[in-house]
Amino acid sequence: MELLKTIFEVFMNTYPGFLEAMLITLQITAVALILGTVFGLMFALMKISRSRILQTIANVYITIIRGTPLIVQIMFLYFGITTLVVLSGFWAGAIALGIHNGAYIAEIFRGAIQGIDKGQREASSSLGMTRAQSMRRIVFPQALKRSIPPLGNQFIITLKDSSLVYIISVPELFAMANREAAQNFKSLETYLVVGGYYLVLVMIFTYLLRWYENKLDVDK
């Protein structure tokens, strides 16, 4: 009971700051998801293209990004970018998260696209469609529906991974928790509170994704 009381006190004393930090967390997650989806689709199309050069570029990108820790990528990109262009920690972190998630989203799109029956492509070709038209009108709409569940999981992972940008001084939820814990000397209670914020956000994301999946099923 004493622990619960202390957690409640920490929550009441810190919620204004945590709400501001939560907004930053949502903003950086949204930017990262947009960038990651763009990168993912682009490299997925490169990987399934007929060009060996494009395939090689996509494979190198995916291998490097998936084979190195995100926190290393954030530090490398942040200090690499700032030597060329002055960017805030927010934008450097968002770009790093976008590039990181792009590699995983690329594999999600690639798998979904290649999972579509080849007969549909052949049928569209017999109707006079080009390969690009077939992809845009026939293949990709179906692949997008198939990719929604794994994309949803990746989006949730992105939300949680956004906590790593605290290392480049972005004032998001985890950075706020570190600052509060250093001031109030109640580390356990403070980290339990910030864990609750992340849990609520993940539950909201999960609900929205399930709602959208159910909507797609109804529309079939």
Q: Count how many domains the chain has.
A: 1
- Please give the Cα distance from 72 to 162 (Å, whole number): 14
Q: What is the CATH number of the domain that holds 61?
A: 1.10.3720.10
Tokens of 25: 């967390």
Reported pTM: 0.88
What range does the domain containing 94 cover? 2-219
pLDDT values of the chain reduced to their tens digit, one per residue, 220 residues: 788 888 889 999 998 999 999 999 999 999 999 999 999 999 999 999 889 999 999 999 999 999 999 999 999 888 877 677 778 889 989 999 999 999 999 999 999 888 887 777 666 666 667 777 777 777 778 888 888 889 989 999 999 999 999 999 899 999 999 999 999 888 999 999 999 999 999 999 999 888 887 877 655 5
CA-nearest of 90, 93, 98 to 71 is 93
CB atoms within 10 A of CB 25: 26
